[in-house]
Amino acid sequence: MPIKKICCIGAGYVGGPTCSVIALKCPDITVTVVDLSQQRIDQWNSDKLPIYEPGLDDVVRQCRGVNLFFSTDINTAIREADLIFISVNTPTKTFGNGKGRAADLKYVEGAARMIAEVADSSKIVVEKSTVPVRAAESISNILTANTFNKPNVKFQILSNPEFLAEGTAINDLLFADRVLIGGEDSEEGQAAIEELCQVYERWLPRKNILTTNTWSSELSKLAANAFLASRISSINSLSAVCEATGADVSEVARAVGLDSRIGPKFLQASIGFGGSCFQKDILNLVYICEGLNLPEVATYWQQVIDMNEYQKSRFSAKVIESLFNTVTDKRITLLGFAFKKDTGDTRESPAIHVAKTLLDEGAQLSIYDPKVEHSQILDDLTHPYVTDEPEQVKKSITIHSDPYEATAGTHAIVICTEWDEFISYDYERIYEGMMKPAYVFDGRKILDHKNLQKIGFIVQTIGKRLVRNSPNRVWGSKVQA
């Protein structure tokens, strides 16, 4: 029977965009996205969606109230659905066994228990969340053990991990490189896979839909993120070598990436990767390997995280060292707070690491980001992980809505996110308003460094030694023609 009603549990960065695109491409399917958070659902039903994602507003506007619904009535949505996506968060555990590494599956388990309690007909249950290998087995056990008194209710569990990246989610969903569906090798399992294939086939060629066994699908998601992150850690490790030798990491990345076996993507050296997925999923992989008694494999992947920590610390240390080894009471501007451009998400953002280091050293921070909510920045920087003196932090940061105000009177600008708008600012004007010597630390390698030097800035970046400004440039004066 073709799928007519879909319920998605979890209206977050994955559930919202994914189901909006499914609704857009499958007008005959009713898609209901549910969440425990009333506030989140209210935002999905308002003009200001809870997440910023280019193109998302348009899709939601076209489908909402037609075949796309956002609701907190989880029970009704589960009961009516033929297929249920579990798209809840799977953060790293912060306590108990596996603290700091294992994935916390309490939300997945909570979703499975709700399905078991409410379902009165058979369902296909799809793991959309990123989970450890064999999580489908736990979901299946919970569902079966809690429906023994409903003999007519059967479940098929599929793994269908999501590969979208934030900031490009709509495009990634509309033109996915591949969709991965894992399921049981039984007749019922294959039938369930086929039903989900038919949903995606409405807009993706069949050859892009890959079917595997459940465990391969679950592991492939962790593997893909580990591979992607390892490329960033690899190029970041080489950025340190470049700074020490005079090589330029962008030139190295280009030369390496032109080898068709390597390819050019994900070789952008940076202040380190952030986001809710890479670190969490690699830590999870490391934990799984340790549990499987594969310590060498665990150590191998742990190194990707360690290198990322090193890169963030190295960059923050460079800022302090360049500012005469003291930033106490100096005003420093962070441009960008999101973990990457085109999103308002700050989870694991390297900007938090940079801000914490500078605050610990007594700096006064001015922060500007085009999309991150001010309250989010404040929450991140007063979080117990960052400080045990939140009131002091509040006194040390000013959050701005205008980049020119944010840079006025500061000693240094630190680029933490690669927002396009940062490239086109009037840096002459910014320079005039800053303390001298005026520094730019380009943690994303996006600015025109030669031009900045010409204006008078002292510029530092990742993976490249920049020659100091010409001596005839006097601080505070205009460049001589």
Single out the catalytic residue among 242, 277, 289, 416. 277
**285/438 with CB nearer ligand UDX:** 285
Q: Rounded CA gap, 274 and 282, in Å?
A: 12
From ligand NAD, ligand UDX, none, interface partner of 19 (C-beta below 5 to 8 A by class): none
CA-CA-CA-CA dihedral for 62, 66, 68, 69, to nearest 10: 120
Q: Does 340 bind ligand UDX (CB under 6 A)?
A: yes
Q: Rounded CA gap, 363 and 341, in Å?
A: 25
From ligand UDX, ligand NAD, none, interface partner of 12 (C-beta below 5 to 8 A by class): ligand NAD
Q: What value does the CA radius of gyration of the chain take, rounded to a whole number of Å?
A: 24
- 279 annotated ligand-binding residue: yes
Burial category of 421 from C-beta neighbours within 10 Å (exposed 0-12, middle 13-18, buried 19 and up) = exposed
- Chain positions 20 to 49 lying near ligand NAD, rule: CB under 6 A, are 34-37, 40
Shortest distance (Å) from residue 366 CB to ligand UDX: 22
Q: Check residue 8 and report its DSSP letter.
A: E
From ligand NAD, ligand UDX, none, interface partner of 274 (C-beta below 5 to 8 A by class): ligand UDX
Which residues make beta-bridge pairs with 335? 368, 415
Size of the site for ligand NAD (CB under 6 A): 28
Contact in structure between 413 and 441 (CB atoms under 8 Å): yes
Give the amino acid at 315.
Answer: F
Instruction: Count CB-CB contacts under 10 A for residue 94.
Output: 9
Give the amino acid at 269.
Answer: A
From ligand UDX, ligand NAD, none, interface partner of 370 (C-beta below 5 to 8 A by class): none
Q: Is 277 a catalytic residue?
A: yes
Q: Rounded CA gap, 184 and 141, in Å?
A: 14
Among 52, 200, 273, 441, binds ligand UDX (CB under 6 A): 273
Q: What is the sign, positive or negative, of the torsion defined by CA atoms of 364, 317, 427, 275? A: negative
Q: Does 225 bind ligand UDX (CB under 6 A)?
A: yes
Q: Does 165 bind ligand UDX (CB under 6 A)?
A: yes
Q: Rounded CA gap, 439 and 460, in Å?
A: 8
Tokens of 221: 């998601």
Q: Does 170 bind ligand NAD (CB under 6 A)?
A: no
- 416 annotated ligand-binding residue: no
- 129 annotated ligand-binding residue: yes
Among 8, 157, 267, 335, binds ligand UDX (CB under 6 A): 267
Annotated binding site for NAD(+): 10-15, 35, 40, 88-92, 129-130, 166, 277-280, 347
Please give the positions annotated as active site: 277
For binding to ligand NAD (CB under 6 A), which residues are involved? 9-15, 34-37, 40, 74, 87-90, 107, 110-111, 114, 129-130, 162, 164, 166, 276-277
